[in-house]
């Protein structure tokens, strides 16, 4: 009798394994089939290889490698502008992110559930719209110039910064909040003396991280008319001076390596 029960259990386990294996096989097949399909669409149907082979793609590629060093002195100012734009955008992002985080943190959201949903929705919209699109919107609102770029990157940063801050607020220790409430602190005082001191390290860490990303973004804000390295890049591209383009990219790389070094040490200092 007992042996039978064991047999039935063993059969059930074996069946479960077989089903798991079948499912996994199905998943692999689906992944592989989708790859084949995409290859068919992108590389076979959409790409005209004969034209590509006949074109001057190789020559274009080679002309990228002939760096145009005469451009270097003209790149110093745009590089500084780009870094400044990224920094201002990060600060603007923080300024905008604090109220959004206040709305989107489940434990302190001012109107409970409804304002929480609004906060989360703002975060999602900010993150899901690409910085190019934000740039287009802000250029049409404030005109060409660095302001549009700063606002676009700032708004785009809000999603990430406020999400992290909201999570930090949801994780604060209740002790200090209770202490401030116990001595009769108002809601605002609880916010400033109970919650804010606890989230400062998180805020600073997130800012440094976002600053790093914003440097990357600010290198393309020139494409929608916000100045900086992106504008030089676009001009060189329009002049078909591919060596100059490569030099601009070199400057971008240098700036980003510099930014990475700065943010590494800044993060060390904060933590």
Partner 1 sequence: MRAKPSFEPGALIAEGAEGERTAFAHGAAAAHGTPARIPAGWHRFRFPQSLYRYAALLATLAFIAFAIDRLNIDLERLPGVLGRIAVTLGQRYFPPNIEHVTHFDYLHSVLETMEMSYLATVLGIALAIPLAWLASFNQTPSPRIGYTLARLFIMACRSVHEMIWTILLVAVLGFGMLPGTLALMLFCIGFAGKLFTEAIEAIRPGPVEAIRATGGNRAQVFVFAVLPQVRVAWTGISIYTWDVVFRAATVVGFFGAGGMGWYLRESVQRIASHDVAAILLSIIIVVVAAELFSAWLRRHVAAAIA
The reply on whether position 261 binds partner 1 by CB under 8 A is no
| Touching partner 1, residues 155-174 (CB under 8 A) | none
- Count of chain residues binding partner 1 (CB under 8 A): 68
Residue 18 corresponds to which tokens in the numbers above? 């077989």
Place of tokens 């607020």: 169
| Touching partner 1, residues 18-37 (CB under 8 A) | 31, 34-35, 37
The reply on whether position 87 binds partner 1 by CB under 8 A is yes
* Minimum CB distance to partner 1 smaller for 150 or for 195: 150
Residue 174 corresponds to which tokens in the numbers above? 């209740």
- Interface pattern 188-207 for partner 1 (x via CB under 8 A): -----x---x----------
Written as one string, the DSSP assignment of 131-198 is: HHHHHHHHHHHH-SSHHHHHHHHHHHHHHHHHHHHHHHHHT--HHHHHHHHHTT--HHHIIIIIIHHH
Measured distance CA(171)–CA(101) in Å, rounded? 13
Measured distance CA(47)–CA(31) in Å, rounded? 22
* Minimum CB distance to partner 1 smaller for 8 or for 254: 254
Measured distance CA(173)–CA(192) in Å, rounded? 14
The reply on whether position 79 binds partner 1 by CB under 8 A is no
For residue 79, count other CB atoms closer than 10 A to its CB.
19
Measured distance CA(120)–CA(158) in Å, rounded? 11
Helix (H, G, I), strand (E, B) or coil at 63: helix
The reply on whether position 183 binds partner 1 by CB under 8 A is yes
* Minimum CB distance to partner 1 smaller for 111 or for 253: 253
Written as one string, the DSSP assignment of 21-48 is: HHHHHHHHHHHHHHHHHHHIIIIIIS--
Of 105, 122, 123, 135, which Cα lies nearest the Cα of 214? 135
The span of 2-10, 112-120, 139-147, 199-207 binding partner 1 (CB under 8 A) equals: 139-147
The reply on whether position 267 binds partner 1 by CB under 8 A is no
Residue 59 corresponds to which tokens in the numbers above? 């020559």
CB of 199 to partner 1, least distance (A): 15
| Touching partner 1, residues 206-245 (CB under 8 A) | 216-217, 219-220, 223, 227, 233, 237, 242, 245
CB of 183 to partner 1, least distance (A): 4
Place of tokens 């082979």: 53
The reply on whether position 142 binds partner 1 by CB under 8 A is yes
The reply on whether position 61 binds partner 1 by CB under 8 A is yes
Q: State the residues that interact with partner 1 by CB under 8 A.
A: 31, 34-35, 37-39, 41-43, 46-48, 51-52, 55, 57, 60-61, 64, 80-81, 84-85, 87-88, 91, 124-125, 128-130, 132-133, 136-138, 140-143, 145-147, 150-151, 179-180, 182-183, 185, 193, 197, 216-217, 219-220, 223, 227, 233, 237, 242, 245, 249, 252-253, 256-257, 260
């Amino acid at each position: 009798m007992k042996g039978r029960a064991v047999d039935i259990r063993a059969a059930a386990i074996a069946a479960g394994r077989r089903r798991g294996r079948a499912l996994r096989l199905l998943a692999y097949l689906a992944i592989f089939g989708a790859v084949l399909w995409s290859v068919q669409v992108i590389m076979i149907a959409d790409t005209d290889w004969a034209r590509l082979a006949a074109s001057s793609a190789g020559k274009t590629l080679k002309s990228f490698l002939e760096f145009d060093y005469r451009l270097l002195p003209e790149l110093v100012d745009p590089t500084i502008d780009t870094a400044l734009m990224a920094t201002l955008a990060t600060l603007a992002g923080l300024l905008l992110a604090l109220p959004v985080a206040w709305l989107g943190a489940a434990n302190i959201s001012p109107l409970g559930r409804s304002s929480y949903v609004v906060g989360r929705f703002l975060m999602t919209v900010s993150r899901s719209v690409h910085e190019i699109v934000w740039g287009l919107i802000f250029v049409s609102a404030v005109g060409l110039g660095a302001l549009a770029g700063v606002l676009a990157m700032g708004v785009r940063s809000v999603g990430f910064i406020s999400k992290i801050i909201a999570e930090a607020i949801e994780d604060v220790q209740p002790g200090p909040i209770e202490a401030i409430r116990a001595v009769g602190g108002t809601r605002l005082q609880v916010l400033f003396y109970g919650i804010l001191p606890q989230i400062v390290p998180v805020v600073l860490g997130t800012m440094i991280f976002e600053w790093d990303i914003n440097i990357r973004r600010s290198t393309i804000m020139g494409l929608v008319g916000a100045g900086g390295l992106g504008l030089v890049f676009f001009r060189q591209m329009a002049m078909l001076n591919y060596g100059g383009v490569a030099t601009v990219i070199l400057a971008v790389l240098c700036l980003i390596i510099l930014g990475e070094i700065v943010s590494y040490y800044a993060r060390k200092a904060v933590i």
